[in-house]
Structure 1
Amino acid sequence: MAERFQGQSVLITGAASGLGAACARAFAAEGALLALVDLNGEKLAALRQQLPAKTSILFAGDVGQEETALQSVELAMKAFGRIDVLVNNAGIDPLDAGSIEDTSVALWDQVMGVNLRGAFLFAKNVLGPMKGQRRGSMVHTSSISGLRPTPEEAAYSVSKAGLIQLSRSLALDFGKYGIRSNCVCPGFLEAVMGDRASSLSQTDLVARSASATALVPLGREGRYSEITAAILFLASAESAYINGATLVIDGGMTLA
């Protein structure tokens, strides 16, 4: 396979596990230089052991804090001299989520802080380097919950809907600088989100997996490899005329 990202700098948030780690491995396999950001520094370090030597830098921090965005972008620029791709992937969906009535202000702020504020901060801070280069690609991990709200997950659904509009606003305002912005909206994936995984038993996880048969027209969960393939496509020159798009990758789940 041709290395589509040879020598390009790719910044990924929420990179330590799950879809973010899968993206890191996929970009690395195609020649990318990686700036990996996550709250969990130990998992980031473990991931780097799986990647080609001297191709990645790590930053452990809360993506919802402005200092994390500022410092990680500065670190990437110092190391690589450019930022070609931003993958805004960090996200949480706490188990104690609920309807608007049942959502505490603290939980609302927590979810918005990671899922939406974090994406805003990283997009805002990579714009300078990308405008200077007159090119760049941002891919944001939203969700089908941003298109069709999930019951009892109000904060998550609203944050992911906001992320779609953030992506579109970026596409509209900065396309003139050669900067593209697109979203992916995954559906039912092979593993539960990282912030939930530690709170679910193996029995819970097996039951969740089995439910995909009834919920998804294709009769199965989506694989990380299928989502990463879409993210890499949207980040690459192959999609040079795709800007402001929202790509649903859900096996037909939202058709039901």
Structure 2
Amino acid sequence: MEKKIAIISDIHGNQSALKAVIDDIGPEGKIDHIYCLGDLIGIGYETNEVLDLLFSRGDISFVMGNHDEAILDIIAGREPYSKKREKAHHEWIAAHLDRKFLQRLHAIPTTIEAEYNGKKLLFLHYHLDELGDFFAVDYGPTIEKLDFLYRDSSADIVCFGHHHVIHHFKTKKRLYLNPCSLGCYPKPLAAYAILSIGDHGEIGVTFKEVPYDNKEFLLGYNKLNVPDAEYILKMFHGNQHLQYL
């Protein structure tokens, strides 16, 4: 029987975008599973609303993102990777995080492996070095570089996020897939992907962009005095808020 899974990534504290995608995916049981590729929180400020929605479903598996990790480090009293303005933002997010979510967040792994109809899948937030740390974003990925990074992997499909653009690379060895950022986009659209795997291992990918109303979300950055709001609104949301001022 054909298997269908939804792949979401980089929600970044944007509850209205997440709700649009969850509504588009439909109720539990409509697809086989949802995989979330990290960065549930950070950048956006709707931390608790996002986590409430994600953890309310029983059909979502998660991997740890760099923003999630930094915020948990701050709460635990460890030094995060972030510095200066980004660190101040993470500290603000950490201060507003409902502590009831900590146990679930701490339990999120770095990678997940799964198998559907004979195809092995690897899910992670981004490429990892030998120490388990995230590589810097490669803004010029190629099939040769990706195959080299995963030369020791037995996965047929590698799914990752972090770089907020679609990746759809097919090599002789495997498929590499990034569904794009769900919560950070220069238009009022929320992105995700549906991966289908047929009875005999046939693979199909559908990239989706779901329209949603982001006005209140965008205006909320300045209403709430979210640290680094102007930079975030420009770099991650394309200054869409200016049309509402």
Mark yes or no: TM-score above 0.5. Answer: no
TM-score, normalized by length of structure 2?
A: 0.32
Richer in strand (by share): 2
Structure 1 or 2: more helix by fraction: 1
Higher RCO (Cα < 8 Å, 6 or more apart): 2
